[in-house]
A = this chain, B = another copy of it.
Amino acid sequence: MRQNRAFEMHSPHRYSDAEIAAVYRTIAERRDMRHFLSTPVNSETLTRILQAAHHAPSVGLMQPWRFIRITDTATRAAMHQLVDEERAQTAKAIGEYENTARMAEFLRLKVEGILDCGELLVASLCSHREHQVFGRRTLPEMDIASVSCAIQNMWLAARAEGLGMGWVSIFDPIKLSTLLNIPSGAKPIAIICLGHVNTFYKAPMLVEAGWKEPKSLAEMVMENTWSTDKTG
């Protein structure tokens, strides 16, 4: 064990302690933001963040991510409306699956910052994905996995740049496709709010709001076989 540690410390591939600390800091301080300032985002910064997305891994190098930058005010307002509609549907469903107290709690949460954020983007799966068999024959959802890795890259790049980002998935993808002329073979999976913030949440907003208690890493890790004492 001590030998493994020594081997690692002397690996030519290991970054400096300061660089490693910066990566872990970013990972720990990244938050799914819902509160934004309306100050615009510098366009060069936006490009760097999108370039970070584009550095993501993708199954069979399919690069299935597509981004639509929303600069039109009416489109932004229509997207906000779509999310608001689905928010009501989600509240109703939470009322049915759980109870009305939980529904009321959900309705008190801020679930998006679409009208306030400096930059609004939509991330979508590309069309013609059926041709991509490599790594997807048994797991076709690997395209979503690749786009998600790209979005996580954006999130971390944005956090380091001092910008907040939020991934909103409370929308009907068919209605959003209609609004943005996304073809039926493609599929929007994220409304991304990006922008300056007054402050970053100290803990995930849903923890701060008392929506849910987070589980510990220890509950997530098993050895060699699924453990039935793990939570779900």
Determine the chain B residues whose CB is within 8 A of the CB of A43 once the complex forms.
1, 4
- Residue from the list B30, B89, B135, B164 in contact with A169, Cβ < 8 A: B135
- Residue from the list B55, B67, B145, B220 in contact with A222, Cβ < 8 A: B67
- Residue from the list B41, B97, B224 in contact with A180, Cβ < 8 A: B224
Decide if A229 is an interface residue (CB 8 Å cutoff): no
Determine the chain B residues whose CB is within 8 A of the CB of A186 once the complex forms.
226, 232
What would be 24 A-B contacts, judged by CB atoms less than 8 Å apart?
Answer: A5-B45, A8-B162, A8-B196, A11-B162, A19-B25, A20-B22, A23-B157, A28-B55, A47-B217, A57-B167, A66-B220, A68-B221, A86-B138, A93-B133, A124-B226, A138-B169, A138-B170, A141-B141, A142-B189, A145-B145, A145-B189, A145-B190, A149-B149, A152-B152
Q: 10 extra interchain contacts, Cβ-Cβ under 8 A, other than A27-B153, A69-B224?
A: A5-B44, A12-B162, A20-B160, A24-B52, A30-B57, A61-B214, A97-B131, A149-B155, A152-B153, A186-B226
Interface residues of A in 22-75 (CB under 8 A from B): 22-28, 30-32, 39-45, 47-48, 50-52, 54-57, 59-61, 63, 65-72, 75
